[in-house]
C-alpha cells in the first residue's frame, strides 16, 4: 500500500479552518500510481467536519491562538496515527507547503515510530526549493523535486521490486552520509497526465459533494513576481491541457460526486484568452451551466480581462473572479515585477462587478522596501473597488524566490527562519527596517482592522449568493 498524506495545518489553527478540497497534487500522484496497478490511498489530514464559509479574518484570529500552543498537543494526531496504522503502508508520500514544514516533520516522526521501515517520501513546493533542509531530518528518506508524477512512480516501482532508486531523475536522498541530488526530470507532456484520482480519498463517503472542486487546466507561470514560488515546481514554461479534456473532467467529476462548485486552480486561468473562451463554450455545449447550482471560480490578473471574455465566463457559470491586486501603489507594483497598474486594477474590478460576478481581491503589505504611506494606498484601493471578498497577506519570504534572496541579502534572518511563522499572516518578518517593532505592530494592527471593516461591508452579500447557489441543490433534490 502507498499512502499519500496532506499534513494537517489549517486545522491546527482552528477546527473551522480545515482545507476540505481534495489535495489536487496528491490526486494526480495517486492516478499515476493506480495506473500501474499499485494500491494507493489519499489521506487529507487537514479536513474538517465543521461547516463554514471561509473568511480570511477567521484565519487572522486563529493565527495568534495557534502560535501560543505547541502543534503536538492537537487531537488530530491521534486520529491520524490510527488511520496510518490501519493502512499499513510500505511507502508514505507527503506534500509539504512552506507553512506546514513543522507539522510535516512531526508527522514523519510519528510515522517512523509506527514502523521505521516505512519509506517516507516528501515533495511539493518546500522540498523542491530546499531539499537539503528536509533531508537533514532523520525521519525523511527521499525528496521528489518539481513535478512529481513520473519521479514518484519510478521510485514506487523500484521499491516494490526491491531495487534501489539511485538513478531516478528528480530524486534527492542521503547516501553514505552525503546528500545526493539526481539530475532534474524533464517536464511532462500534459496529454500524458491522467485525471486526478479523487475517488481514492480515505473516508470518501464523509466528503461533501463540493470537496472535489479543484481543477487545473495548465501548469507553469510566465510571470516573475518576486514573492511567488510557483515556478520552482512548474517552471515558467506554461503547458496547457486540451480544453475538451478539461471539460470532460468537470463533467465526470459532477457525474461521480454530484459536484456543482468548481475552482480553477491555475496560476492565471485567463492567460490564453481564446483557450479560456473555448473552455467556456464547451461547458455550455456540454450543458453543465444548466445544472442547478453549477458555478466556478478562477484566478487571474487585471490586465488579462476584457468585457467579452468576462461575459463568456459568466455565461458558462463563472460566479467569482479573484485577481491578485497585491498593492495600491504603482511604485510598489513595479518593484514586485507586476506588469499592470492601479488604473488597470480599477478598470478590471469595474468590469467584473458590472457582470454581476463576485469580485475577490488579494492584497499584500509589509515588503522590505514599502513605507507605511504606500501600504495605506493599498487600503484605499481595497476600499474603492468594493470587492465582495478581500484577503490581506503579510509579505512572506518563501524559499527560492527573489523576495527570499533579497531578505537574506539585507540580513532579515541571519540565524535562519522558523518556517512555522511563515504563513499568510505572520509577524511582519519582512517589514521595512525603518520601523521599530512597536511601529510595525501598530501598522499591521491598523491595516488589518481596516481590511476587516472593508470585508464586513460586503461579506453578507457574498455569503447570500453562496447560499442561493446551494439552495438550488436542495430544490433539485
3.30.230.30, 3.40.140.80, 3.30.1330.50, 3.80.30.20: CATH of 209-476: 3.80.30.20
Query: Region 432-450: what's the mean pLDDT?
Result: 95
**pLDDT exceeds cutoff 50 at 416:** yes
Residue-wise pLDDT for 385-411, tens only, equals: 999 999 999 998 999 999 999 999 999
> Does the global pTM surpass 0.85?
yes
Domain ranges of the chain: 2-181, 209-476
HEC readout, the chain: CEEEEECCCHHHHCHHHCCCCCCHHHHHHHHHHHCCCCCEEEEECCCCCCCCCCCHHHHHHHHHHHHCCCHHHCCHHHHHHHHHHHHCCCEEEEECCHHHHHHHHHHHHHHHHHCCCCEEEEECHHHHHCHHHHHCCCCCCEEECCCCHHHHHHHHHHHHCCCCCCCCCCEEEEECCEEEECCCCCCCCHHHCCCCCHHHECCHHHCCHHHHCEECCEECCCCCCCCCCHHHHHCCCCEECCHHHHHHHHHHHHHHHCCCEEEECCCCCCCCHHHHHHHHHHHHHCCHHHCCCCEEEEEECHHHCCHHHHHHHHHCCEEEEEEEEECCCHHHHHHCCCCCCHHHHHHHHHHHHHHCCEEEEEEEECCCCCCHHHHHHHHHHHHHHCCCEEEEEECCCCCCCHHHHHHHHCCCCCCCCCHHHCCCCCCCCCCCCCCCHHHHHHHHHHHHHHHHHHHHHHHHHHHHHHHHHHHHHHHHC
Same fold, 2-181 and 209-476: no
Q: How confident is the model at residue 424 (pLDDT cuts 50, 70, 90)?
A: very low
pLDDT (0 to 100) of residue 253? 98
**pLDDT exceeds cutoff 80 at 60:** no
Residue-wise pLDDT for 283-342, tens only, equals: 999 999 999 999 999 999 999 999 999 999 999 999 999 999 999 999 999 999 999 999
CATH code of domain 2-181: 3.40.50.280
**pLDDT exceeds cutoff 70 at 422:** no
Residue-wise pLDDT for 182-210, tens only, equals: 999 999 999 999 999 999 999 999 999 99
Amino acid at each position: 500500500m502507498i499512502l499519500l498524506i496532506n499534513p494537517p495545518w489549517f486545522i491546527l489553527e482552528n477546527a473551522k479552518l480545515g482545507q476540505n478540497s481534495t489535495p489536487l497534487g496528491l490526486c494526480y500522484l495517486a492516478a499515476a500510481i493506480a495506473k500501474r496497478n499499485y494500491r494507493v490511498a489519499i489521506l487529507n489530514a487537514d479536513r474538517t467536519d465543521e461547516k463554514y464559509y471561509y473568511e480570511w479574518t477567521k484565519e487572522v484570529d486563529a493565527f495568534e491562538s495557534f502560535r501560543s500552543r505547541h502543534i503536538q498537543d492537537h487531537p488530530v494526531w491521534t486520529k491520524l496515527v490510527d488511520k496510518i496504522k490501519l493502512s499499513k503502508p510500505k511507502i508514505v508520500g507527503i506534500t509539504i507547503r512552506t507553512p506546514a514544514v513543522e507539522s510535516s516533520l512531526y508527522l514523519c516522526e510519528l510515522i517512523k515510530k509506527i514502523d521505521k521501515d516505512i519509506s517516507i517520501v516528501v515533495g511539493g513546493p518546500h522540498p523542491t526549493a530546499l531539499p537539503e533542509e528536509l533531508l537533514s531530518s532523520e525521519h525523511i528518506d527521499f525528496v521528489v523535486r518539481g513535478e512529481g508524477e513520473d519521479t514518484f512512480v519510478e521510485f514506487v516501482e523500484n521499491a516494490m521490486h526491491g531495487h534501489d532508486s539511485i538513478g531516478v531523475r528528480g530524486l534527492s536522498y542521503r547516501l553514505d552520509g552525503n546528500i545526493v541530488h539526481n539530475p532534474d526530470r524533464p517536464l511532462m507532456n500534459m496529454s500524458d497526465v491522467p485525471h486526478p484520482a479523487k475517488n481514492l480519498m480515505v473516508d470518501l463517503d464523509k466528503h461533501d459533494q463540493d470537496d472535489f472542486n479543484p481543477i487545473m487546466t495548465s501548469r507553469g507561470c510566465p510571470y516573475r513576481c518576486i514573492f511567488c514560488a510557483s515556478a520552482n515546481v512548474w517552471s515558467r514554461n506554461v503547458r496547457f491541457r486540451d480544453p475538451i479534456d478539461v471539460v470532460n473532467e468537470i463533467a465526470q467529476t459532477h457525474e461521480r460526486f454530484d459536484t456543482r462548485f468548481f475552482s480553477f486552480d491555475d496560476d492565471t486561468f485567463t492567460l490564453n484568452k481564446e483557450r479560456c473562451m473555448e473552455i467556456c463554450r464547451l461547458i455550455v455545449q456540454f450543458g453543465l451551466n444548466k445544472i442547478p447550482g453549477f458555478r466556478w471560480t478562477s484566478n487571474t490578473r487585471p490586465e488579462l480581462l476584457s468585457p467579452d471574455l468576462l461575459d463568456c465566463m459568466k455565461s458558462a457559470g463563472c460566479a467569482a473572479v479573484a485577481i491578485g491586486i497585491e498593492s495600491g501603489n504603482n511604485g510598489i507594483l513595479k518593484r514586485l515585477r507586476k506588469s499592470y497598474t492601479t488604473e488597470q486594477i480599477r478598470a478590471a474590478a469595474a468590469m467584473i462587478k458590472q457582470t454581476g460576478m463576485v469580485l475577490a481581491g488579494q492584497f499584500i503589505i509589509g515588503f522590505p522596501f514599502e513605507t507605511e504611506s504606500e501600504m495605506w494606498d493599498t487600503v484605499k484601493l481595497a476600499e474603492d473597488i468594493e470587492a465582495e471578498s478581500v484577503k490581506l497577506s503579510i509579505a512572506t519570504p518563501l524559499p527560492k524566490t527573489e523576495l527570499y534572496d533579497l531578505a537574506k541579502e539585507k540580513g532579515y534572518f541571519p540565524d535562519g527562519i522558523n518556517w512555522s511563522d511563515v504563513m499568510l499572516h505572520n509577524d511582519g518578518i519582512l517589514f521595512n527596517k525603518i520601523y521599530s517593532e512597536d511601529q510595525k505592530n501598530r501598522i499591521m494592527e491598523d491595516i488589518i482592522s481596516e481590511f476587516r471593516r472593508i470585508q464586513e461591508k460586503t461579506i453578507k452579500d457574498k455569503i447570500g449568493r453562496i447560499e442561493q447557489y446551494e439552495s438550488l441543490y436542495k430544490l433539485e433534490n
